[in-house]
Amino acid sequence: MSAVLAPPMPATTAPSLLTADEFLRRYGDDSGIELIEGHLVRLPMPGFQHGEVCFKVALVIGGFVVANRLGRAFTNDPFIRTKTDPDSYRGADVVFISYDTLPATTPTPKGAFTPPLELVVEVRSPTDSLNEMMAKAVEYTSAGITVVLLLDPAERFAAVFRANQLPQRYEAADTLTLPDVLPGFAVPVASFFE
């Protein structure tokens, strides 16, 4: 009796990793994607609540930045390099870069920015787990972001992350201050959610 032999299984290869240059060349003008440790990751559209909170953050923080001539504020997923070898680029919801870091006379960079920079704000989307958001905040601070502000619209709280420090949690009734990056800034956390 002869045995039926199955044809040999084709060899599988792991997908190749994208480099930072390849990512920026191919996807530098796209939103809704990030490069995470060399892999292209498409992000779901977060919806209206997320957009409204991002808009309020831009108004509150951006308004303070402009009124006090502190630097520049950015929205809509500007790419920030957070890791190398393999490369990672994240698209932040709101970013503040001081004039000390990026002088007013320097043209706005096209494409991506490599830290250090002062502030990144991330708003939790309905599809984000809290653990994912915390890991992202740590990734940002490890890359050289001074302060990462996470906002959770569903639970109505803010968390502030700084390198080598435990995160600070602020409830909706608390006043949020960021003296190391926005001197004089003080707003109720609820102002981002109402």
Structure tokens at 131: 């653990």
Sole residue written with tokens 């199955």: 6
- pLDDT at residue 136 above 70? yes
Average pLDDT over residues 146-163: 97
* DSSP structural state of residue 116: -
Average pLDDT score over the chain: 86
Beta strands 117-123; 145-152: pairing state: parallel
Give residues with Cβ within 8 angstroms of 83, minimum separation 6. 37, 139, 143
- pLDDT at residue 125 above 80? yes
Range of lowest pLDDT (3-12, 78-87, 170-179): 3-12
Model pLDDT for residues 20-40, shown as the tens digit of each residue? 777 777 776 666 776 777 777
pLDDT of residue 40: 72
pLDDT of residue 6: 44
Distance CA 27, CA 60 (A): 30
Beta strands 175-178; 71-75: pairing state: unpaired
Which pLDDT band, with edges at 50, 70 and 90, does 44 fall under?
A: low
Which pLDDT band, with edges at 50, 70 and 90, does 64 fall under?
A: very high
User: What are the phi and psi torsion angles at 153 (to 5°)?
Assistant: -65, -35
What SS3 class is residue 136? helix
Average pLDDT over residues 39-53: 76
Average pLDDT over residues 94-119: 92
Name the class of domain 46-78+90-192.
Answer: alpha beta
Which pLDDT band, with edges at 50, 70 and 90, does 5 fall under?
A: very low
